[in-house]
Amino acid sequence: MNIGIKEDRRVRKTKKALREGLAELLTEKDIQNITVRELTDRVDIHRSTFYANFQDIYELYHHMEDVVLNEISNIVSMDCNLEPKALFQILLEYVSNNRQICLLLFSKNVNAVFFNRLTNQFKDLILDAWCQKYNLPSITKEMEYYAQFCLSGSLGIIGKWVVDNFEHPTEKLVNLLMDIDSGFEELVARQTVLLD
């Protein structure tokens, strides 16, 4: 077996343990009150191993955001032709399978930067999908506003679901998101009539 592959797996495992440990600690205290020693003791990793991967706790937190954004991006890009319902189901499944980290990232105390990055990641996908679906030559300013509003609302609903400890049944939440999505599809369809 290749040594490089072993090291990569070990590094991935270490980073995952650090992310999960930080997520646990963040449920107990604010990030500025968490020390590297406290985190490494919690996950039973040597401090030098932490510093081999991250400069400080804040860099680890940003890494945690990046991982979630990349994983969601990979899920969505697996099949750009997914129907909205399937996409919502996959997204909610991802959030449910990563509860601890998503609880932090979607909580009311979340850094607005993460929410904005997530919104922007999806906005381009939605606008492209609308252009393809309605055979539009360009994106109108109104469509940008619709997409922004739609995404803010949808992500807000998912965030509430996370903060409410996933109490609402997933299928009902998917249907709720579908209702919102179909309402915006009608608005975009009207835009296509105005452009003709």
Indicate whether 2 pLDDT > 60. Answer: no
Q: Which of the pair, 184 or 24, is modelled with greater confidence?
A: 24
Looking at residue 8, its pLDDT comes to 84
96 shares a domain with 13: no
154 shares a domain with 124: yes
Q: Using the 8-state DSSP alphabet, how is residue 107 labeled? A: S
Number of H helices, E strands in the chain: 9, 0
148 shares a domain with 80: yes
Structural domain contains residue 157: yes
Looking at residue 196, its pLDDT comes to 52
72 shares a domain with 154: yes
The tens digit of pLDDT for each residue in 105-125 reads 776 555 677 878 888 888 887
Q: Which domain holds residue 120?
A: 68-195
**How far lies 110's CA from each of 29, 62, 149, in Å?**
13, 12, 19
% of the chain surpassing 90 pLDDT: 27
Distance CA 128, CA 184 (A): 14
Structural domain contains residue 60: no
177 shares a domain with 108: yes
Indicate whether 99 pLDDT > 70. Answer: yes
List the one residue out of 183, 191, 79 whose CA is nearest residue 131. 191
Indicate whether 1 pLDDT > 60. Answer: no
Q: What are phi and psi of 112, to 5 degrees?
A: -60, -25
Indicate whether 56 pLDDT > 70. Answer: yes
Give the model's confidence band at 3: pLDDT under 50 very low, under 70 low, under 90 confident, else very high.
very low
Give the CATH number of the domain where residue 12 resides. 1.10.10
Q: Using the 8-state DSSP alphabet, how is residue 82 labeled? A: -
Structural domain contains residue 97: yes
Most confident range (mean pLDDT) of 90-94, 130-134, 189-193 is 90-94
Distance CA 104, CA 95 (A): 11
46 contact partners, CB below 8 Å, separation of at least 6: 40
Structural domain contains residue 61: no
% of the chain surpassing 70 pLDDT: 88
Q: What's the average model confidence in pLDDT over 140-152?
A: 86
Structural domain contains residue 59: no
Domain total of the chain: 2
Indicate whether 178 pLDDT > 80. Answer: yes
Looking at residue 108, its pLDDT comes to 59
Give the model's confidence band at 4: pLDDT under 50 very low, under 70 low, under 90 confident, else very high.
very low
- The residue type at 16: K
| Helix/strand/coil (H/E/C) assignment for every residue in 78-97 | CCCCCCHHHHHHHHHHHHHH
